[in-house]
């Protein structure tokens, strides 16, 4: 890899991390606004349903415009959309809803965010190799940081049923990163995958509400937040636009740029953002131990990022760490098997975002070479 290509690759990964942080931050805004509704006459089921359904309606037209009449993409990718809607949207939220009925919120969140371990385990299973030291170190640092941020060293309430639901939520979270980071030769646009998945999720929540599995009660009283009074619909609008539509779309984009593993580690910053938003909007001052936990999470991300950077260092057709799942490559580069005479072949998993060709190097032992310029999607 030339110095210019390596610089571009670093910039793309940096942009991917920035997009992932936007996704994590906007996801984290859901806590204060959902709490404000729950403090009135709303139930968790009604809040989650309107959040997802509102986001689905908001993304409907943009998703259709992004599809641009290419219904063949949807016919080939409908399974991914349905799986994303059930496994990545409905399951983690529903499982977490049941987990907090038996566990403290901190323990439930810790169990859910063990999904990053499942992401690494799945990729190692596919690649048939053990995780490398930077990844193991990153997991250890991130889990310790998560425990510190959630302040789990005080009173902790544990229940077997709650742990089961928490682990189901972890599987759902892992599915979110793996499904949104999975690409094919002609992948669904991020807006289509996110919007379609939210439609599936909202239908699932509506069905659960109708049969009584997910209790739903709605209120009309104003909500109180940061000492101010807002109409109930303003809180629902924030949950739909900022806390659902925005993070799901940006999350899909970030996962395709970074790969599922690095994206899942960056996604842990949602917990740190949640603490900060609770401080600003609810007046819940973070403890020093929580700020220390944020530094541990950051160190875990840096450890995993160092492995990704090592895997992107290429000299000619020799690449360090071949087959590293979840790596991200710069626009203008393609991933393929090294061939004799013809130069490197182009892999089949290029994601075109505008005029940016983002390639996921997941599970490929590969060489990197220039690719011809492609037009926008």
Distance, in Å, from the CA atom of 113 to the CA atom of 111, rounded to the nearest integer, reads 6
Cα Rg, the chain, nearest whole Å: 21
pLDDT of residue 350: 37
Q: Would you say 266 and 24 are in contact if contact means Cβ atoms under 8 Å apart? A: yes
Which residues of the chain register pLDDT less than 50? Answer: 312-377
Torsion of CA 309, 314, 318, 324, to 10 degrees: 30
Contact 347, 312 (CB under 8 A): no
The two tokens of residue 111 are: 């169990």
Alpha helices in 150-231 (DSSP H): 160-181, 190-210
Query: In the chain, where are the structural domains located?
Result: 3-311, 317-370
pLDDT at 363: 40
What tokens were used for 350? 């290029």
Confidence (pTM): 0.73
> How deeply is 263 buried, as exposed, middle or buried, from its count of CB atoms within 10 A (0-12, 13-18, 19+)?
buried
Give the pLDDT score at 358.
43
Predicted local distance difference test score (pLDDT) of residue 38: 86
């Amino acid at each position: 890899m030339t110095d210019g290509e390596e610089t571009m690759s670093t910039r793309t990964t940096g942009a991917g991390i920035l997009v992932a942080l936007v996704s994590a931050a906007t996801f984290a805004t859901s806590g204060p606004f959902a709490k404000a509704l729950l403090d009135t006459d709303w139930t968790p089921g009604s809040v989650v349903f309107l959040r997802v359904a509102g986001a689905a309606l908001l993304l409907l037209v943009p998703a259709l415009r992004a599809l641009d009449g290419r219904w063949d993409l949807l016919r080939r990718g409908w399974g991914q959309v349905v799986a994303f809607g059930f496994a990545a949207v409905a399951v983690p939220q529903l499982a977490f809803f049941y987990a907090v009925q038996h566990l403290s919120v901190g323990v439930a969140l810790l169990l859910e965010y063990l999904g990053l371990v499942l992401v690494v385990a799945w990729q190692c299973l596919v690649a048939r190799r053990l995780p490398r030291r930077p990844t193991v170190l990153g997991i250890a640092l991130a889990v310790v940081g998560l425990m510190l941020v959630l302040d789990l060293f005080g009173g902790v309430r544990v229940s077997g049923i709650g742990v089961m639901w928490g682990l189901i939520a972890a599987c759902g979270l892992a599915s979110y990163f793996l499904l949104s980071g999975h690409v094919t030769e002609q992948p669904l646009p991020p807006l289509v995958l996110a919007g379609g998945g939210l439609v599936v999720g909202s239908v699932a929540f509506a069905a659960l509400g109708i049969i009584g599995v997910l209790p739903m009660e709605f209120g009309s009283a104003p909500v109180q937040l940061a000492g101010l009074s807002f109409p109930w619909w303003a809180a629902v609008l924030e949950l739909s636009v900022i806390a659902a539509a925005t993070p799901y779309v940006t999350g899909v984009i970030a996962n395709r740029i970074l790969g599922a593993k690095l994206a899942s580690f960056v996604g842990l910053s949602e917990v740190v953002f949640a603490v900060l938003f609770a401080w600003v909007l609810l007046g819940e001052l973070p403890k020093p131990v929580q700020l220390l936990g944020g530094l541990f999470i950051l160190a875990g991300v840096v450890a995993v990022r160092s492995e990704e950077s090592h895997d992107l260092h290429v000299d000619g057709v020799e690449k360090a760490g071949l087959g590293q799942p979840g790596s991200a490559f710069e626009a203008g580069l393609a991933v393929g098997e090294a061939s004799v005479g013809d130069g490197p072949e182009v892999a089949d998993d290029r994601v075109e975002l505008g005029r940016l060709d983002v390639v996921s190097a997941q599970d490929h032992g590969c060489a990197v070479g220039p690719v011809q310029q492609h037009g926008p999607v």
